[in-house]
Amino acid sequence: MRGVSTENNDDGKATPSRRRSTRAKAATPRAASTRQPRAATRRASNPPRTKTQPTQPVATPVRSVPSAPPAVTSSTLPTDLPDDRYFNRELSWLDFNSRVLALAEDSSQPLLERAKFLAIFASNLDEFYMVRVAGLKRREETGLSVRSADGLTPREQLVAISKRSQELVEQHARAFLDHIRPGLEEHRISIVTWGDLTDYDRLRLSNYFSEQVFPVLTPLAVDPAHPFPYISGLSLNLAVTVRDPEGGGERFARVKVPDNVPRLVRVEADRSSSSATFLPLEELIAAHLGELFAGMEVIECHAFRVTRNADLEVEEDRDEDLLQALERELARRRFGPPVRLEVADDMTEHMLELLLREMEVDPHDVVTVPGLLDLSCLWQLYGIDRKTLKDPAFVPATHPAFGERETPKSVFATLREGDVLVHHPYDSFSTSVQRFIEQAAADPHVLAIKQTLYRTSGDSPIVDALIDAAEAGKQVVALVEIKARFDEQANIKWARTLEKAGVHVVYGLVGLKTHCKTSLVVRQEGSTIRRYCHIGTGNYNPKTARLYEDVGILTAEPTIGADLTDLFNVLTGYARQDEYRALMVAPYGVRKGIVERINCEIEHAQAGRPSGVRIKVNSLVDEQVIDALYRASQAGVPVDVVVRGICSLKPGVTGMSENIRVRSILGRFLEHSRIFHFIGCDEYWIGSADMMHRNLDRRVEVAVRVTNPRLTSQLEAVFTSALDPQTRCWVLRSDGEWEASPSDGSSVRDHQMELLHKHGALG
């Protein structure tokens, strides 16, 4: 469960020159410059591509080349913009996590929701270190002198990250110790120490320890006969010093806190009790160390935790079998070098020095934590059934187009009447997108189903439907992205399950991740074949569809169907597609299409016509897109950006960006949709790509233009609500500070709560 976490943080990596040349070589066969547009060999059922200008109010062609475009360098950037025009993306991410922490500190939030945000903050920071900090360390160690867009070296960024992280960790701990924990105790939810327990509770928990915990513990000694043990990433450990009563010598030992036992041990024997008291597992183990080290005297015991590099480097051109190559790298991941050492604030200097020495950790990578380590354990508290301490329950509404009728209508009949835009979690995923795939699997007239799968749930009904379709004799193709970070193992499992069922499984393109969210259903209807499509901004995951805010379009539009047919031919075969009718496809095509449309708005402004750019994304990092927005601002184009996480753009700078406003909305749901509105051109687009290097250069992404006025009015309503001056948000200032808004004490509206009410998902 991710809440307001980042989806992943692997963009903008700098890799050794050999690695870069490998990617370029892999992508070369798809370069547009090596071929001419195809002639009249197109199937008659595919509508012809047009070459109208983007200023026209009709669907415009977008050339898209699945190959890595030229890197952004100083020579390709404008020279009349200041050099210091970007914020550092790593520090901007830490600012994002600071906003998550602010939600935990907000007394207007329900108490267990505040505890949840503390848990999300902790999980977010873990992933940031495993990926982003690990990448910076690798650059520094390999001698790559690659500076960030704001001009900092890897070492300078690491120093700034270390300082800022320590500040946030202390703020995080204090929020729990000084506010959340006392608040929970007022509602009879407590986290206690061993010393707080009664004799009766100690006796009962001692029995629990002997029966459930002691058998799985393995104390590891460190001496000339026992080398320092390997410490796995993100594991919680106890560093113990014991003394031999006979010889008086002191020895170090490590005890791993097992992760297959609940971290917070329930104290009450009666689970129906109105009280819920918990003892941290490490406290229980520390109180019984005498049983682990019988005959020895325990001198000291301190908790610590190591974060390791969890990034993967798969040489895709070297290995014939990408699946096997990835499995080898997954096995190596657990042995990545340490990038962070978290220690309890009561750890002694000599114990810390021993850990630094034995694990070869840089002192700058030590984070001292007041109180409990790894507050992601607070998810366990969030599971307590206390409705009054949580947000009100909601039930995603069935979209009116798919609502119950006296005579049930199929999804296909509905889409023949017109396109449908779904907005999750307000609109139900299961009664729209999931039903679309399930009906396709069961429909005898459906000939083929083609689907991209980036992340899905452990018990995915989408995967089950694809298996049912294949077993029914349908042509089923699933592009499973096995390189989806931290879901690699799960996706490998699904890929093999699908293959066994007869599904044609493809793992994507060499050097690129397939991140687009697309489904294509081919159906025989009398003497014609009709294609039905879904293109969305979120994953095909019914569980995260209740937590992530996303939009998607379900359509039978022939041009979109033809485009998706071409795209799947690129993904599964050797087709070299270089243009699409109604889509923008990355790499190369999305950035190019977005910049072209921003330039179109500049032309409108210069001609005195209405103009404007509105963008809603997770992150805005790409320098070419940012520079295009700066130039739009200079031309008088109003620009509004709603960004959840990272923003490298500096708004409100005189002469550069005074017409740009940036705000961030965080809340109950993770704002995940990517929506673009170009006012002068009168174009709305939705898609899977954020404005980041990884999305625009190293992924297959899809954006689709939404043209139906009924659907564009829905997207307009999203922007209107998000940009309402009274909507609770954070506003980015030109100095990089995020300011809570509105700050004038006026009435505040909650963007997500308003949408829940509007869609009828709340009573």
Rounded-to-integer distance, Cα 290 and Cα 294, Å? 6
149: pLDDT strictly greater than 70: yes
Beta bridge partners of residue 662, listed in sequence order: 641
- Chain segment 569-618, per-residue pLDDT in tens: 999 987 777 789 999 999 989 999 999 999 999 999 999 999 999 999 99
676: pLDDT strictly greater than 90: yes
Q: What pLDDT does 594 receive? A: 97
Q: Which of the two residues, 5 and 419, has the higher pLDDT score?
A: 419
Q: Which helix (H) or strand (E) holds 286?
A: helix 281-287
CA atoms within 13 A on the CB side of 677: 20
585: left (phi over 0), alpha (psi -120 to 50) or beta: beta
8: pLDDT strictly greater than 50: no
Q: What pLDDT does 509 receive? A: 76
Average pLDDT (376-402) is 94
Average pLDDT (294-303) is 93
Which stretch of 223-232, 367-376, 593-602 has the lowest confidence by average pLDDT?
Answer: 223-232
Q: What pLDDT does 325 receive? A: 54
Which stretch of 104-113, 162-171, 496-505 has the lowest confidence by average pLDDT?
Answer: 496-505
Average pLDDT (732-740) is 96
Rounded-to-integer distance, Cα 155 and Cα 136, Å? 8
Beta bridge partners of residue 253, listed in sequence order: 221, 240
Tokens of 616: 């809603």
Q: What pLDDT does 501 receive? A: 86
662: pLDDT strictly greater than 60: yes
> Is there a contact between 724 and 749 (Cβ–Cβ < 8 Å)?
yes
Rounded-to-integer distance, Cα 55 and Cα 159, Å? 47
- Chain segment 112-145, per-residue pLDDT in tens: 999 999 999 999 999 999 989 998 998 888 887 7
Kindly list the catalytic residues: 515
Q: Which of the two residues, 6 and 506, has the higher pLDDT score?
A: 506
Cα distances (angstroms) measured from residue 270 to each of 105, 203, 266, 274, 276: 32, 15, 10, 9, 10
**In degrees rounded to 5, what are phi and psi of residue 534?**
-130, 130
End-to-end CA distance of the chain: 25
Rounded-to-integer distance, Cα 352 and Cα 222, Å? 15
28: pLDDT strictly greater than 50: no
Percent of the chain residues past pLDDT 90, beyond the cut? 70
Beta bridge partners of residue 366, listed in sequence order: 341
| Sign of the C-alpha dihedral computed for residues 214, 216, 222 and 228 taken in this order | negative
Q: Is residue 499 very low, low, confident or very high in pLDDT (cuts 50, 70, 90)?
A: confident
Tokens of 666: 């965080």
Q: What pLDDT does 324 receive? A: 54
**Full DSSP string of 129-178:** IIIIIHHHHHHHHTT--PPPTTS--HHHHHHHHHHHHHHHHHHHHHHIII
| Range among 1-5, 226-230, 306-310, 453-457 with highest mean pLDDT value | 306-310
498: pLDDT strictly greater than 80: yes
Q: What pLDDT does 505 receive? A: 87
**Full DSSP string of 475-510:** EEEEEE-TTSTT-HHHHHHHHHHHHHTT-EEE---T
Q: What pLDDT does 143 receive? A: 80
Domain 188-385: give its CATH code. 3.30.1840.10
620: pLDDT strictly greater than 90: yes
Domain with CATH 3.30.870.10 in the chain: 17-90+583-758, 400-558
> Is there a contact between 431 and 759 (Cβ–Cβ < 8 Å)?
no
- Chain segment 625-639, per-residue pLDDT in tens: 999 999 999 999 999
Tell the CATH topology of 17-90+583-758. Endonuclease; Chain A (3.30.870)
Percent of the chain residues past pLDDT 70, beyond the cut? 83
Q: What pLDDT does 579 receive? A: 86
Q: Please provide the average confidence, as pLDDT, over all residues in the chain.
A: 86
> Is there a contact between 457 and 540 (Cβ–Cβ < 8 Å)?
no
Domain with CATH 3.30.1840.10 in the chain: 188-385
Q: Which helix (H) or strand (E) holds 751?
A: helix 751-758
Q: What pLDDT does 483 receive? A: 58
- Chain segment 66-93, per-residue pLDDT in tens: 444 444 333 344 458 999 999 999 999 9
Q: Is residue 490 very low, low, confident or very high in pLDDT (cuts 50, 70, 90)?
A: low
Rounded-to-integer distance, Cα 183 and Cα 201, Å? 23
Q: What pLDDT does 104 receive? A: 97
Q: What pLDDT does 424 receive? A: 97
Q: Which of the two residues, 739 and 32, has the higher pLDDT score?
A: 739
Q: What pLDDT does 45 receive? A: 44
Q: Is residue 11 very low, low, confident or very high in pLDDT (cuts 50, 70, 90)?
A: very low
Cα distances (angstroms) measured from residue 320 to each of 480, 498, 668: 17, 21, 44
Q: What pLDDT does 486 receive? A: 52
Q: Is residue 20 very low, low, confident or very high in pLDDT (cuts 50, 70, 90)?
A: very low
Tell the CATH topology of 400-558. Endonuclease; Chain A (3.30.870)
